[in-house]
Each structure stands twice: as C-alpha cells, then as structure tokens.
Chain A
Amino acid sequence: MTETSDEDLVRQCRAGELRAFDALVERHQRTVFNLALRMVRNGDDAADIAQTVFVKAYENLERFDPQYKFFSWLYRIAVNESLNALEQKKRFEGLDGVEIAVEPADEKDDEALRQEHRIQVGLMLLSVDQRAVIILKHMQGLSYREIAQVLDLPEKTVKSRLFSARQAFKDILKRKGPRRNDRRRAS
C-alpha cells in the first residue's frame, strides 16, 4: 500500500481532518526533535521546541506554499524556533554566550558515545549559523537546494557557509578536542 504523501495530508488538514495532522506529526516528529536537540543540546528544550514547531505549522497551514516540500517548511520553523530558544536563553542568563553544561561521558561509555559527546560539544562551539548548516547537511541529509529553502538563503551562500563551517568544526576537533566534564560557552 502506498503511503499518503505529505501534500495530501496537508490538503486533508486544510479540509479540517485533524487525524491527517497526527500523521504528519508521527512522520516528522523524530527529525524535528533531533534537529532541535542538535541545535540547543537539551532534550527538554528540544521537546518544547518540537511542540511549538508543530503547533505553529498547524496554525499557519493556510500560508504553506505547496510548491515547496512540506518538510522544508517544517525545518525552517524548527531552525527559527531553535534560534529563538537560544536567544531567549542568552537574554535570560544575561550572558554573551550560553553556559552549556556538557554532560560527562561516563568512563564505561564506549568509544562511539565518547565520539558523539565530542561532536555535540564541538557543534555548540560553532556559531548558530554554521551549526544549522552542518546539522541540516550532515545529520538531516538535505541537499544544498533544500538547505537554501530551509534557511532562505541563496544556494551559493549555503555552500560557502557549509565549507567554512566544516573547516571550523575540523579545527575545533583538531585543536584539542573538548575535554570531558568540560563547561564551555557557546552561542
């Protein structure tokens, strides 16, 4: 049986079928949550952001342009909400950067976990613009064009931002690698 497309589900939602929106949530909740999680690093915040993303998507469904892919539109809301959350946190804490409590990697953790830990800390040391482009490319697997749609940037800018972000990330990991039990400031 073929799966109902996002576009068909959106049409059903616009006709007042709430269960069609449940299907969209079910389909995209994991990617939206993970996108937010990698942006803000905190699971509770990421769940709140994901909820806000879907509620905003529902409330603005009439404004969705079907010539674009639904997930691009959803990711755009997710990136914007993550940036808002980081901004609010920064304002609330009155710092020029957010204090990121890096969870210690346990001695018993396997190498893969330690690697993930280093990567997440490294991501938080990138600028938010660089972080977003790295996450969309390498963790969400989007093409240059899709990233350009999500971030509302020219494709050329996406490429140059991605290349410099990758370079910066390489340098962060190479410099010394974030130490365990580290507490660092990142925006």
Chain B
Amino acid sequence: MTAEELRELINREIDGDLSPSEKRQLAQALRRNPRARLLQSELKNVASALASVRSVDPPVHMAGRIGAEIRARAAASASVTAHARAAVDRRASWWEPVRSVVLGPSAVRYGSVFAGGLVAGALLFMLLVHPQPAPSVSGAAATGTLLSQSESYPVNVPGAQGTVTAVPTENGKELTFRLSCTSATTTKFSYDPSRVKLENLREIQSTGGPVAVNDGVVQITGTGAQRCTLLFSGVRDSKVSVQIASTAGGSFHAEFQVH
C-alpha cells in the first residue's frame, strides 16, 4: 500500500466510509507504521474538535425579517403581473373599436371619421370655453379604539370609494386591515417602528400596485381598483394609522388605537 493510499484510508475511516475488508487492511498497515498511527490520531483529534463546535442561535428576529421580505416581494410580484395584464387589456380595449372602423366598409369608415371629428371638436370647445374646476381636496377622518370587534369605515372621497376594515384577533395581538378602493390611490399604513418591527408584518397582499415597506410605513401605490390586506402582530397598545390619497385629490385618514 502506498503512503497516499494509506492516507486516504485513514481519512475515509474518520468519515465512516470504510468497508469491513478495508478496515482490516488499515488495521494491518497501522500496526507496522507508527507514523501512520500518529497521523490517524491527529486527524481524529481534528475531527472531534470540529464536531465539538456548538451551533449558534440565529438572531431572534431573523425569521420574521425574512417572512416580511418574502411577503413584500410576493405582493410586488403579484402587482407587476396585474399591471402587465392591465396593460394588455388597455391595448385591446382601444384597438378593437379603431380596428373595426379602419378595417370596416368604406361608407362606415368615412361616416365614423366624420362623426368622430365632430365629437372631438365639441369636446375641445367645452374644454377651452368651460374649463373644468381643479379637483378639490376633500378629506375624511375617522378614529377608532379597537377592543375585540372589528371596525369599518367607509371611504368616500373624490377618486376613492371603498372601505377600510380593521379586524383585531386574539385579544389585540394581531390586527388585520382590509381595504378596497375603486380607483387609483396611494395608501400609507403607518405604525410606530420602535414598537412594531418589520417581522410583525405577517402578511401583505395587494391587487393594486407596488408595495414599499420602509421604517414604519407600508405604502401601496395602486393604479386602479384594488384590494389589499395587511396583517400586523404585536400592535397591542399601539396606534396604526391609514392614509389614503387619490390622484383626484381626495384624502382619507383613519387612526386605530389597539387595546
């Protein structure tokens, strides 16, 4: 047996990889070779020293942080898909009538173009002579104290009609927000980041636009009708506020104190 083969057998013995005949072969070789016995002893010591190193506990918040990150990405990914689908739908919706006119019989085609010109002219006239007033900023506010039952507030401001519902569970240990809006809005859920950590955001689901989570604020930018759900834990004895701003200038604010 060469020195290299012997070294391999010693190493494989440490790893529990020898067959019974290889074990006998090694035992014979070791009896005749004191240097090989020393190597075997040293390598066994190395293996047992390495095996004795204790496993370290990961940081307590690590799993929660990972969960929140995954949920934010899942929500963002869902909204990107929704945006892509909406873009395709939009393209189809304007193209269909145009296609039927452009590709239709010539009488219909010329008639439609003439009628379209009249309508466009009328609209232009109305816009120039009677300009629309700028959207007024109107607001609505609500505050609630949550004990064990859910509270629901209607959102009815320009550009945003829907409902904000806060549902406490497990005696205020968890709080679920459900929001539905009919049009484009920016919604901010604010909480005290010193009390509610990122890992307390147990679930974020949105059919609206991109979701951003940043130091005490979850912001959802929706481009159209949307529904979203947020599940917080660890919010007992703290406040969570919801701010909705629509592109039409409407604003809504609700604040929830959880006991």
Which residues of A does B touch, CB under 8 Å?
Answer: 18, 21-22, 25-26, 29-31, 33-34, 37-38, 43, 47, 50-51, 54-55, 58-59, 112, 115-116, 119-120, 134, 137-139, 144, 159, 162-163, 166-167, 169-170, 173-174
Contact = CB atoms under 8 A, between A and B. Distances in A.
Nearest to B17: A144
A51 B62 contact: yes
B26 to A, nearest CB: 14
Contacts of B52: 112, 115-116
B104 to A, nearest CB: 44
B56 interface: yes
B239 interface: no
A47 B11 contact: no
The 9 closest A-B pairs by CB, nearest first: A138-B50, A33-B58, A163-B11, A54-B66, A170-B46, A47-B59, A58-B70, A25-B63, A34-B55
Interface of B: 7-8, 11-12, 14-15, 17, 42-43, 45-47, 49-59, 62-63, 65-67, 69-71, 73-74, 203
A34 B17 contact: no
Contacts of B49: 115, 119, 173
B11 A139 contact: no
B70 A18 contact: yes
Which of B51, B57, B58: most chain A Cβ within 10 A?
B58
Contacts, number: 96
11 contacts: A38-B53, A50-B62, A51-B69, A55-B69, A119-B49, A119-B53, A138-B51, A139-B53, A162-B11, A162-B15, A166-B47
B71 A18 contact: yes
B51 A170 contact: no
Nearest to B62: A47
Per DSSP, chain A at the interface is helix
B57 A30 contact: yes
Contacts of A159: 8, 11-12
Contacts of B7: 163
A139 B63 contact: no
Nearest to A30: B58
Contact of A29 (B15, B43, B54, B58): B58
A137 B53 contact: no
A174 B74 CA distance: 51
A25 B66 contact: yes
A55 B66 CA distance: 7
Contact of B59 (A18, A22, A43, A144): A43
Nearest to B203: A18
B62 A137 contact: no
A138 B62 contact: no
B85 to A, nearest CB: 16
B70 A137 contact: no
Contacts of A137: 15
Contacts of A43: 56, 59
Nearest to A32: B58
Contact of B53 (A21, A47, A116, A174): A116
A138 B66 CA distance: 27
B58 A47 contact: yes
A51 B55 contact: no
